[in-house]
Every structure is written in C-alpha cells, then in structure tokens.
Chains A and B, each alone.
Chain A
Amino acid sequence: MSATEIRKTYKLFIGGQFPRTESGRYYKVSNAKNEVIANMCLASRKDFRNAVVAARKAFESWSTKSAFNRSQILYRMAEMLEGRKAQFVDELMQTGMSKTMAEKEVRLSVDRMVYYSGWCDKYHQLFGTVNPVSSSHFNFSMPEAMGVIGVIAPESHPLLGLVSVVLPLIAGGNTVVVLASEKHPLCSISLAEVLATSDLSGGVVNILTGKSQELHTHFASHMDVNAILYARADAKEKKTMAELSALNVKRSFFYERDWYRADAENPYDILDFQEIKTTWHPIEQIGTSGAKY
C-alpha cells in the first residue's frame, strides 16, 4: 500500500516567519490541466503593512552588513536553490512548462543568484567616484541602499522573474516586500524556503501571494516604502502606482523585460535602487590659522 501524500500548505513569508494571511482569505491555484493544486493565501493590505514593518526592521542590519558578507549570503541562496532543483522544476512544470524549459528557468535562476552575489562587493567601485573639486576638499560619492522596496514581480516566469527583480535590490542592501505571480505562485513562495535556509536575516525579503489589483495601490501609497518596482504590463496599474508614488516622492520603476536575455542581469538594476551620497571634508585646513572650514 502506497503512503498517502503529505500536501504542503502554502503560506506567506514575513519577517522570516511563515504566517497565514491575517485576513483568512485564500484563492485557488490550478495547474495547467485546470486541477486545483493549492489554496493560496490572498494577502491583505494588513499583511502588506506587516511585511513593510518587518522589512524596515531588517533594513538597518542588512544595509550595514559588510558587502562581502551579503555576497556570501546570496551565494548561499544559489547553493540552496541548486540543492532543491527538482522541487522547483516540478512546480514550474505544473504551470504547463516543458521539462526542458523548467530546467532552464531553474538553472538561470541559480546563475542569476551567483551573478548578483558577485556584484555585492563590486558595484560601489563601479558607481562610486572621487570627485576632483576645485577647492581644497576631499570629496567622494558612494551608492547607498535606498531602503524598503515594494516589488510587484513579473506574472510570467514565477521563479526567474522574481529572482531577477529581487536579487539586484538585496545585493544593494535594500529590503524587499514582493508580491508573487498571481497565477503561478507556487515556486515563488517555495523560494521562501530557500531564503529561510540561506542565512538571510528575517525580513530582508518578504513574499506575499495575492492580487496586484487589490494591493498595488497600497504598495505605492505606503509612506514608509522608499521605492517601488512594478514588473507587469498593466498600463492602468502602472499609472496609478506612479501617481500615488508622489505622496512621499517614492522612486518608481517599471520593468518589462525578457528575463531570459543576457542583459536582463546587469549592475544598472542595482544602481536604480541606490542613492548617491556625497561627502565633503577639508584637506589640512581645519584647526589651522584663520577661519577656513
């Protein structure tokens, strides 16, 4: 007699924990054959707000970790995903993907993690400058993490799409609240299991499942979110989010990419979510004669 399958309950990922939605709501997710395969949490505005609190709390320690350390943690993510390949291939195939395509998507996702792991301790040198000012000052500009970023992940490519938008953000020291693909959230939320076992502190990446239609306005209007990244095609949602961003001068970015392309991974995506800070200091004048400063 064969053992009865233990089915997984899919939950949200907030602050390193796996809570159900506080709203108690769910929606049904089907596979390519239209069979219901999961009751997925339908995240509410309150879930989103809790996730922002977790992300803000995690920001200080994540953004001040050494770049090398962040790099190691991102590499660890790649190791963890590599080890769970089969699970992700299976979940992707349930969306109707062929085995070859599903394997390709998982492989590219692992590669993308390794790629951004490598950038963690290098983009500063690419985008930072020492500025030759005319006065007697030492002056340098450095990229610095923007803060808490709200991300609405691509609807297609639930694994590669999500990895491609989240990795450059956390590589750059930001913390993230990301809404997974609505139709195919299985492997997006399963990614939480990879993150939770990668030495990534709780709250650095928070994953919600649910509907962009319900949540996009909250992403854009939340006063403690520093920037948003919207990676879907709905022109109306884009416009609304861009408008609401003005409430606290949020930086808003809208990506539409072919995530398989080689240039879908690049350090300029890290730079989009960096602030440039410039520091000035006098050279050998302070405390000497006269009132130079």
Chain B
Amino acid sequence: MSIQSKKSTDKKVKATKKSIPAFEWKYAPAPESTDHIDIKPQYELFIGGKFVKPATSEYFETTNPANNKVLSSIAKAGASDVDKAVKAARKAYAQSWQKMPARERGKYLYRIARLIQERAREFAVIETLDGGKPIRESRDIDIPLAANHFFYYAGWADKLPYAFPNRKPMPLGVAGQIIPWNFPLLMAAWKIAPALATGNTVVLKPAETTPLTALKLAELIQEAGLPEGVVNVVTGFGDTGAALVNHASVDKIAFTGSTPVGKYIQKAIAGTGKKVTLELGGKAANIIFDDAPIDQAVEGIVNGIFFNQGHVCCAGSRLFVQENIASTVIAKLKRRMKTLVVGDPMDKNTDIGAINSAAQLKKIQHYIQLGQQEGAEIYQTDQALPDKGLFCKPTLFLGTSQSHRIVQEEIFGPVLTIQTFRTIEEVIEKANNIPYGLSAGVWTDKGSKIFNLSNRLRAGVVWANTYNKFDPASPFGGYKESGFGREGGLHGLYPYVQFEH
C-alpha cells in the first residue's frame, strides 16, 4: 500500500493550510479474503430449475468497479428467453407452488434464509466485488438483512388469513420483478420473499452491472430444492426488463429503480390489468433542528448520504440545518468527512467504496459540475482517490437553494446539498416541495416536534434521530413520484395478493 502512504503525506501537507484541524487516520490495510469465493467464468440463465444457455447466444461482462477487472461473463436473455422463463413460472404456479400447502411453502423460504446465512461471507464478498460497496456494509447490512427478509416472510406463508381481516387472500400468479444495482441481493430478497410466501412464482431480472449474487441465489435456490420454475432468473439489460414487463402472461410487475423507468413501466402496462408496485427515486430531506443532539446528527448526516456511496434511493441528500447552528454543524460535518476512508471496497476499514459503474460516475460528475455552474459552493476532502477503478470524493454543496437542479434532482451519489432554515413551517414547505417523497430525517430532542414533522412530511419513511435503518418487519416505500406499494412488514404482503370475492 505504498500508494496510500504517499497520498496521506500529500494530504497532511494540504491539510495544514486549512483552518479546520486535520486528522490523520492511519489504518493498516485489512482486505477481506477472496480465497473461498467461487465465481464461475460464465453464468447461464436460471429457467425452470436449470441453468440454460440463452437463445441469443450472447453474453456480457460484469466487472469489479474498484479495479475494472472482469469477474464473469453473463448470459443475455432475449425476448424468447424471457418467454421461456415466464412459461416455466406459470407452469410451476399451476402445477406445484399454488397447490402446495402454505406451511410447506414457508419451509422452503426458511431453507433459503438458512442457506444465505450459511454462505453469508461468500455472498458478501461477491456483492462487494461485483457492486463496489464496502465489505463492511455487504457483510453487516445487505446479506444479513436479505436472510432475515426470507425468515420474516417464511413465517407469513401459513398465516395470511390473519393479515387481511374479513378477506380471503389469493396469489396473483406470475410476478415479474426487476431490481437495481445498489442493493443487489437485498432487493432480490425484498422481491422474492413476499411473492413466494403469498403463493406466487417469480421471474427476476437483476441489474446488468450486478448480476452475480442473484445468480448465486439461483444456485442456492436449486440447492434448497424448490420446485422447478418457482424462481427464474433472467439476466440482461433494459430490453430484457422490457420483455418481462410487456409479457402477456405476467400478472404482476414489481420494480425498484429510477423514476423515469418506473413511469415507462406504469405506462407500458396501462390497460393490461397487471398489478404493479414501483419503488422509485428519492431526494430526502434530512432536517437538523437547533435542539438536536449535534454529534449524533452529524453521524446521521454522514450515514444518510455516504452510506453505499450515496447509491441509495432514500439517501438523505438534502440537508436542512437550522440557521443558528449551521456553522457548527457544517464544521463538524467537514471534520467528520476527513475521517472517511474512500477506497478499496474489500478493505474492512473502507467507508466509501467504488461507484457502481462508469455511467453512474459520469452522471455524478455531471451533477458536481452543474452544482458549481449553478453557483453553489463545493466542498470536498483532499483525500486522494485510488488510481484505478471508479471513485468519487464525498461532496458537499453549500449555499444551495430550492431552485438548484442539484437540490431538485436525484444524483444517486455521495453528494449532499445544504440549505438553512429558520422556522418549522419553512422547512416543512421546502422539504415537501419536490416531486419525490420516499423518506425523510428529523433530528431534535423534542418529542412533540418529531410527531409534528412526522405527520406533515410527505414521505413513506421518516427516520427521527436516526437514518437509513431497514428491517424486514418495517414497511418501506414512497409517496408521490417515489412510487407506490410497500415492501416489508405486513403491508408488504398486499402487493402480492388479490381478494376472493
């Protein structure tokens, strides 16, 4: 790690020029081992319980964004492959899954949960290699939460009548599920677990930049002995997803991703009778009042925007600080940012890993430029980035206002805009004045203020004196253009059932 020590010397020199005291954090490199990880050179589609070659005969590469090395070659599913997968799911729905006693269905979900736990380390390492997120996060958050999600919904399988008073819930049929690249395995779990628990079968389309853990999950599902075709995985790009959305025999679409694609899907399925849930973009307000516990709030700001490189739909990307504490909070935030370790995602000390793809890095850099053009004041730490791979410095924009595009549009990167406010009314107005409504954060020691804000913020999740917390028992989903439907908890069952009349 000679490069690193050289850079920290640079940092020291530069830092002494700043008025804020510099911190010198030195960690010995602590890379997670990849010895026990099995990534095949090539992956096929998972259809009808088997790995099959794509009719397209085409493959695409998935790379490690931290060093641009190719990890594996992935089958590209065409329309006929998607058709095959949907037919396999339909067959499994009619012949095995729907007929199976609910309790037995649940047992398969428990099996999947256990198998993920058993192979958690392997999944965590692959998640980080493929997606660029810090190993600390994939190890401590993504993978355990994914397993827990299967555990949670496994238990619902034979208790569904209790969830819907005076109604008899029935499955919908075949669910087409399209998931993003920011939490690949976790999103697969969020989609698959409630669908299977309620008796539906699934065709899952993972994101093209992060297909590996979904394919490993397919292997695991095979190992769990699920009836053939109950879960199918078709890898590919947007056209694969479009083929799934437009397939006549799909009863339900569940999508997590960008708002423009969500709108495309909503339009595409209009008039078809397909049910849909959309979990789309966000631009959450994280609001700090002057009576907040400041140090904890600063941790919350950091976690809110720099968790997973800011590739989080519910990221607290708009910071609102009450005017009289703004200078204190910003100074503390800058100090804290200097301690963030940006670099090798496989290093256990890393706080901010690699940006998921070159396209995403380009988009983030575009917004960083745009923010400066719009006249906002930029702040970045002077820590150097690794030479190879896709990285972005944690970034603040000060002096921003509601009309700035960096304030209104989702950047999906480690970029925070900061605005100040004086009154509660003002901050509620500003927080809500945006097309999105996925999440929000509130920091204050006053309980009545929390409930006031929690009532009036138009967002699906409100974190009060905390941020970016997730749990299988807790419903998640948006208001307005952040989508509709909930995932997690009892409410997460609704999107996958219909009531018998």
Contacts and interface: CB of A to CB of B under 8 A. Distances in A.
Nearest to B460: A277
B461 A278 contact: yes
Interface of B: 148, 165-167, 259, 262-264, 266-267, 269-271, 278, 280, 293, 295-297, 299-300, 303, 435, 445, 450, 454-455, 459-467, 469, 471, 473-477, 479-484, 486, 489-491, 499, 501
Contacts of A240: 270
Interface in A139-181: 139, 141, 144
Given A226-B480, A246-B264, A276-B460, 7 more contacts: A133-B469, A135-B471, A141-B474, A276-B491, A280-B463, A282-B466, A293-B293
A248 B480 contact: yes
Contact of B296 (A139, A226, A287): A287
A141 B469 contact: no
Closest 7 CB pairs of A and B: A239-B271, A242-B270, A133-B471, A246-B266, A243-B270, A246-B267, A293-B296
B271 A238 contact: yes
B259 A291 contact: no
A141 B489 contact: yes
Contact of B266 (A249, A263, A278, A279): A249
Interface string A221-264: 00000100000000100111111011111010000000000010
Contacts of B480: 226, 248-249
A131 interface: yes
Among A238, A280, A286, residue most surrounded by chain B Cβ atoms (within 10 Å): A280
Main secondary structure of the interface of B (DSSP, over half): mixed
Given A129-B491, A131-B475, A246-B263, A280 B469 contact: yes
A275 interface: yes
Contacts of B462: 277-280
Nearest to B490: A129
A277 B445 CA distance: 21
B466 A243 contact: no
A142 to B, nearest CB: 9
A131 B267 CA distance: 34
Contacts of A279: 454, 461-464
A251 B166 CA distance: 24
A277 B464 CA distance: 13
A13 B499 CA distance: 35
B144 to A, nearest CB: 9
Given A129-B491, A248-B481, A286-B445, A278 B271 contact: no
A99 interface: no
A276 B477 contact: yes
14 contacts: A131-B473, A240-B270, A245-B266, A246-B264, A249-B259, A276-B475, A277-B459, A278-B461, A280-B466, A280-B469, A281-B465, A286-B296, A291-B296, A292-B296
A140 B52 CA distance: 44
Contacts of B271: 235, 238-239, 242-243
Nearest to B144: A134
Contacts of B460: 275-278
Contacts of A249: 259, 262-263, 266, 278, 280, 480-484
B292 to A, nearest CB: 9
Contacts of B167: 268
Nearest to B494: A271
A64 B455 CA distance: 9
B269 to A, nearest CB: 8
Contacts of B476: 278
Contacts of B297: 293
A86 interface: no
A126 interface: yes
A276 B486 contact: yes
B302 to A, nearest CB: 10
Interface in A114-147: 126, 129, 131-135, 137, 139, 141, 144
